[in-house]
Amino acid sequence: MILAANFKTNHTRKSTRHYLERLSNFLFETSCEHDIFLFPPPLALDFFDDIGGVCVGTQNAYPAPSGAFTGEAGSEQLEELAIQTILIGHSERRGILGESQAFCAEKFRYYASLGYTIFYCIGESLEVRRAGIEATIRHNLSQLEGIDLSYPKLIIAYEPIWAIGTGVSASLEQIQETHAALKAHLSCPLLYGGSVNLSNIAEILALPEVDGALIGSASLKVEDFCQMIQKI
Ligand code: 13P
């Protein structure tokens, strides 16, 4: 299983280190065999070479080594911190920051060319979901345009926008149906994200079509994240 925590704009560098130390100890003590990832906010990234068992990635980066892209980090800055994992296409970046599909695909191509592990997010709005399963699948597949689905370090996260941060995840039936339809087009792992928490993680990850979870709010406390790992 792949379990990833997306801190979004939460935690500082200090609290992230503290979190990572506790998480790393927990994984060691429990001989955890799952793949655990953490995406802290960009300013909380650091050279976490002393932390074992957790792969730290960036929530965002510009598709260039360096240059005139005010406010952005490029691969040169990530390289200094030995970051080799990136999240691309999150609905908050597509929606709030206006990232187009073409730009998500450009980021994908650039970071794939550098061999990064890429967590690539897709997900539909409530309006699309209400239009039915066919419209939902069509929309999600359109968010894969320009993405090389045979890239060996690709992990896709299906995160319905209407389930993110709402406390109400998609139903097991909805997750199963959507994952099954998407998996007909994919060979990479497919994670679910959207209000995954301590009470629903076990049943969601028990679905055979689900290869892991991308967790936001419920991952912010390290004790909770550890408990979720223990439940799978
Ligand atoms: P929540 O778990 O807070 O719903 O967020 C999910 C998410 O967006 C992870 O990337």
Q: What is the mean pLDDT of the chain?
A: 97
Residue 161, token pair as written in the block = 């926008």
Q: Is-contact 211 190, C-beta < 8 A? A: yes
Condensed to tens digits (0 to 9), the pLDDT of residues 40-77 reads 999 999 999 889 999 999 999 999 999 999 999 999 99
Of 158, 172, 189, which Cα lies nearest the Cα of 90?
A: 158
Ligand 1 centroid to 191 CA: how many Å? 12
**Percentage of the chain modeled with pLDDT above 70:** 100
**Mutation test residue for ligand 1: of 159, 162, 205, the one with most atoms within 8 Å of CB:** 159
15 membership: H or E segment, kind and range: helix 13-29
Q: Is-contact 34 66, C-beta < 8 A? A: no
Q: Is the CB of 45 under 6 A from ligand 1?
A: no
Taking CA 41 as the corner, what is the angle to CA 136 and CA 109, rounded to the nearest 5 degrees? 55
Q: Give the list of residues 6+ apart from residue 193 with CB closer than 8 angstroms, or none.
A: 6, 121, 123, 157, 158, 159, 163, 164, 213, 214, 215, 216
Condensed to tens digits (0 to 9), the pLDDT of residues 83-118 reads 999 999 999 999 999 999 999 999 999 999 999 999
Ligand 1 centroid to 221 CA: how many Å? 14
pLDDT of residue 151: 98
